[in-house]
Amino acid sequence: METTDAQVRKLMEEYGKHGKIGIAALRSGMHRDTASKYLRERKLPSELRKPRTWRTRKDPFEEDWPLVEALLVDAPELEAKNVFGWLSEQERPGRYQAGQLRTFQRRVKRWRAMKGPDKEVFFGQLHRPGEALQTDFTSGAALGITIRGVPLSHLLCHVVLPYSNWQWATVCRSESMAALRRGSQAAVFKLGRRLEWHQTDNSSAATHEVAGGKRAFNTEYVELMDHLGMKPRTIGIGKSNQNGDVEALNGALKRRLEQYLLLRGSRDFESVAEYERWVQSVCGKANELRLKRLGDEFAVMTPVSVSRLPEWKEESPRVTPGSTIRIKYNTYSVPSRLIGERVKVRVYDDRLEVRYGGEVQALIERLLGRHGHRIEYRHVIESLVRKPWAFERYRYRDDLFPTVVFRRAYDAIVGAQATRRGDLEYLRVLRLAARTMECEVAAALELLLAEGRVPTYDLVRDLAAPAASDVPEMDVLEPDLAEFDRLLPSLGAVA
């Protein structure tokens, strides 16, 4: 067993007490001869140990290393794994085995540290209190959140003060301008203070590409910053480390949320709003630990003197003859009574609010991405029943199968009848779902399909139509006004 520095120090201490080598060696846990050596040298093992300057085995790449080195000099960005594949497959086929890859990677790593090109240096920055607010989006998928049992696909718009590490978060669905507006305003108005700068990465919510591969601020984002009294700035393109504080705290926030979820004992919430309130309560508890440095920031920050901007932007599309509107490159259906009218649409991060005459006509879940469509069958079914031949090639036909069981029912109906007649039969079933309750119609379809029967309109109607309730007959009460006259004398006596 190798002798340690601690053992030798113990040896020296014991030997200094009584001058007996045997006892000192025994008490320090080493052989007498070993003890004699260290007493003679008067040095610790670490001081006597010399670095090894020789190889324990021959370098298998020594012969071909000049070739590898020349390649690495010409193309420093090459990965060791790809260089090894090129060497073993093209230059020296059959000479090297896959098991030698790790050895080759260590050799390349050592060469790069000793002779490779200079690497980029990152300079730690001192944050000034009240200087900047950093905002970033981070995925909440790993938290496994559900809303009434349905998995929630979401992001967290995370806002941080780099000096004090104060943080706030809102729940959103995408890195949209609406989400950025809502998240940054939530943090600013929670603080009640504004900072000099607002810093983001180069997401499309805040910036857009311009000539030369550069990015410029979006007009809507600049207007938001002007309203809040802050100056916008972004990190360098591809330089996520420049947003390092909020990037690092993204992971810390999710670890903290995970711990609180474990303590909560459930990941299910009644609504997205309830989940967001819970997230912000966790942020609030963390912020209580940062009050001292936050006080330094408050001393130099300026109070917010403006009102909060709406969390929506309004558009005014005209409803097409197909009973649709187009918002942010996506198509949505609206009630057909609005065809030809110009409606007001409030565009939120997660939904659309369609208004006409100052009243809400439809609430629609907003689509992510572009060139999608969301057609509500209740908006178009009456016209389709009158024009059933349009169903076969309707461009949004797949949206008219609300659930899988409706698609199975359609296939069964068409399989038993001619296509056009089957289309009409299915559309009548779909109209029944629109006029009554979709869940009841779906249950009837499921039952008929399980029994191997074709779910025709008549069969589905008989199963799903609500039973007529018997209204009991009641005698109409006819009050006797003379009774009130007899009450008057007694009321006068009380007065």
Domain positions in the chain are 5-48, 65-115, 132-303, 313-374, 381-464
CA 108, 113, 114: angle at the middle one, nearest 5? Answer: 100
Per-range mean pLDDT, top range of 35-39, 74-78, 129-133, 452-456? 452-456
Which parts of 179-263 are beta strand (E)? 193-194, 197-200, 207-209, 215-217, 231-234
Task: State the pLDDT at residue 166.
Answer: 95
363 pairs with which residues across the strands?
353
Maximum mean pLDDT: which of 90-99, 179-188, 231-240:
179-188
Q: Residue 494 CB: number of other CB atoms within 10 A?
A: 5
**382-400 pLDDT tens trace:** 999 999 999 999 999 999 9
CA distance 184 to 198: 9
Residues 6+ apart with CB under 8 A from 71: 78, 83, 86
Strands 351-356 and 344-347, by their bridges, are antiparallel
User: How far apart are alpha carbons 449 and 141 in whole angstroms?
Assistant: 36
pLDDT, position 293: 93
pLDDT band at residue 227 under the 50/70/90 scheme: very high
Give me the torsion for CA of 75, 76, 82, 85, rounded to 10°: 70
Q: How far apart are CA 433 and CA 453, in angstroms?
A: 19
Which of helix, strand or coil describes residue 294?
A: helix
Q: What is the pLDDT of residue 236?
A: 59
- 278 versus 234: which is more confidently predicted? 278
What percent of the chain lies above the pLDDT cut of 90? 64
> CA-CA distances (angstroms) from residue 134 to 127, 156, 283, 390?
12, 14, 16, 52
Please name every residue paired with 365 in a beta bridge, in sequence order, or none if there are none.
351
What whole-number distance in Å separates Cα of residue 150 and Cα of residue 436? 25
Sign for the CA dihedral angle at 359, 365, 371, 376 comes to negative
- Residue 92 has what pLDDT? 82
Cα 245 to Cα 52, 126, 237, 286, 356: the distances in Å are 42, 12, 17, 16, 45
In three-state secondary structure terms, 346 is strand
Element (H, E) at 107: helix 101-115
β-strand partners of 151 = 146
- How far is Cα 118 from Cα 108, in angstroms, rounded to an integer? 15
Helices (H) and strands (E) in the chain, counts: 18, 19
On whether the CB atoms of residues 102 and 60 are closer than 8 A, the answer is: no
End-to-end CA distance of the chain: 112
**Correct CATH for 132-303 of 2.60.40.1730, 3.40.50.300, 3.30.420.10, 3.10.129.10:** 3.30.420.10
Report the pLDDT value the prediction gives residue 138, as an integer from 0 to 100.
94
Q: What is the mean pLDDT of residues 137-164?
A: 95
Is residue 312 within 8 A of residue 356, CB to CB? The reply is: no
pTM, 2 dp: 0.67
